[in-house]
Amino acid sequence: MDRDTALRLHEAMLLTRLTEERLVKLYRQGQTLGSVYRSLGQEGVACATALALGPEDVIGPMIRNLGSMLVRGVTPLDIFRQYLGRATGPTGGRELNNHFGDLSRGIIAPTSMLGALIPVMAGVALSFRQRGEKRVAMTWIGDGGSSTGAFSEGLNFAVVQKLPLIVVGESNGYAFSTAPEKQMKGHLSARSQGAYTETVDGNDPVAVFEAAHRARIRCRNGGGPVFLVCETFRLGGHAEHDDQRYVDPALKARWAARDPISRMEAWLAERGWSPQEPLRDPLEARVAAQAGQALGEGRPGEG
């Protein structure tokens, strides 16, 4: 990974964290209309996988992939407008989280129905092949979502058809409050349907990027789909209304010590590649200003 890409990855993860932190504040102030779903501790998976794609590729994100959407050019302002139900938001106040697409940025809208995006994204990949276009489709699935029929059917179809599809498996410890061993036998990587599979440390953003980069090359060269399984941990609740009382605090502390942003910062520092200017404060100010702008705008039907 070159320095420029590494710095972009670091900034994307930080922007994701700061945007989600601001969303949590807005939630606690009673400003958001629904709950807040975040990717705390998993920002590296969302950002590094999306960053490994080209602008012509298409993503189908899920709820932990705000970072992937930011990488594709969605702004914190879009996100605040959406969570605050603003008329100016991407869905005009009709949806209350990251459930919106933007075809101009190569984003198919996330959906609540776990697994449902896998056959949709397999279809996107099929359309690329039918048109003779060298493009790749990417989507994400959790350990819980991998138990749906749609996941197996969609991935199986992509394998049989050798489609340019990357499915990122987020093995993050829980599905709501259910640990994997209570809902599946074996490891997520065993659910590949025969797709080429790689398992990486999901809290090592550089390793995730490099694996996603390899997966993209494989897809572009006609190697068929890749199941890229990232070992990570959901450090927050399923959403902000979930206090995670079912999680062993020692386990949580172990994963917190492997924070992807701190690890990226250490990796940059080792190479003498740390950002020249302080990044956090200006990014935080930008995020706060965009939240303030969305707060000042009305909901549908107001004013």
Ligand X SMILES: Cc1ncc(C[n+]2csc(CCOP(=O)(O)OP(=O)(O)O)c2C)c(N)n1
Active site residues: 234, 238, 246
Partner whose binding site includes residue 240, from Mg ion, ligand X, none (CB under 5 to 8 Å by kind): none
The full DSSP string for 7-40 is: HHHHHHHHHHHHHHHHHHHHHHTT--SS-----T
Show the tokens assigned to 220: 């572009």
Least Å distance, CB 176 to Mg ion, is: 8
Partner whose binding site includes residue 72, from ligand X, Mg ion, none (CB under 5 to 8 Å by kind): none
**Could you tell me the CA-to-CA distances from 269 to 3, 18, 177, 262, 272 in Å, in that order?**
11, 21, 37, 10, 5
Least Å distance, CB 100 to ligand X, is: 17
Nearer to ligand X, 252 or 299 (CB): 252
Least Å distance, CB 130 to Mg ion, is: 33
* Binder of Mg ion out of 143, 204, 231, 240 (CB under 5 A): 143
Least Å distance, CB 36 to Mg ion, is: 17
**Does residue 237 belong to the site contacting Mg ion (CB under 5 A)?**
no
Partner whose binding site includes residue 113, from Mg ion, ligand X, none (CB under 5 to 8 Å by kind): ligand X
Backbone angles phi, psi at 199, to 5 degrees: -115, 130
Among 21, 6, 25, CA closest to 283: 21
**Does residue 146 belong to the site contacting Mg ion (CB under 5 A)?**
no
Nearer to ligand X, 88 or 244 (CB): 244
Q: What distance separates the 2 farthest-apart alpha carbons in the chain?
A: 56
Partner whose binding site includes residue 209, from ligand X, Mg ion, none (CB under 5 to 8 Å by kind): none
Nearer to Mg ion, 139 or 290 (CB): 139
**Does residue 42 belong to the site contacting Mg ion (CB under 5 A)?**
no
Show the tokens assigned to 208: 């995730």
**Does residue 172 belong to the site contacting Mg ion (CB under 5 A)?**
yes
Least Å distance, CB 149 to ligand X, is: 9
Binding site for ligand X (CB under 6 A): 64, 112-115, 142-145, 148, 170, 172, 174-176, 234, 238
Q: Is the dihedral of CA 295, 20, 14, 76 positive or negative?
A: negative
Position 211, amino acid = A
* Binder of Mg ion out of 89, 142, 164, 169 (CB under 5 A): 142
Separation between Cα atoms, residue 252 and residue 24, nearest integer Å: 19
Separation between Cα atoms, residue 19 and residue 287, nearest integer Å: 6
Partner whose binding site includes residue 176, from ligand X, Mg ion, none (CB under 5 to 8 Å by kind): ligand X
Q: Of 143-151, 202-210, 215-223, 243-251, which segment contacts Mg ion by CB under 5 A?
A: 143-151
Nearest residue relative to ligand X (C-beta): 142
**Does residue 175 belong to the site contacting Mg ion (CB under 5 A)?**
yes
Ramachandran bin of 213, using left for φ above 0, alpha for ψ from -120 to 50, beta for the remaining angles: alpha
The full DSSP string for 178-234 is: B-GGGT-SS-GGGG-TT-EEEEEETT-HHHHHHHHHHHHHHHHTT---EEEEEE---
Partner whose binding site includes residue 114, from Mg ion, ligand X, none (CB under 5 to 8 Å by kind): ligand X
Show the tokens assigned to 96: 């209350």
**Could you tell me the CA-to-CA distances from 76 to 40, 54, 80, 179 in Å, in that order?**
16, 22, 6, 32
Footprint on this chain of Mg ion (rule: CB under 5 A): 142-143, 172, 175
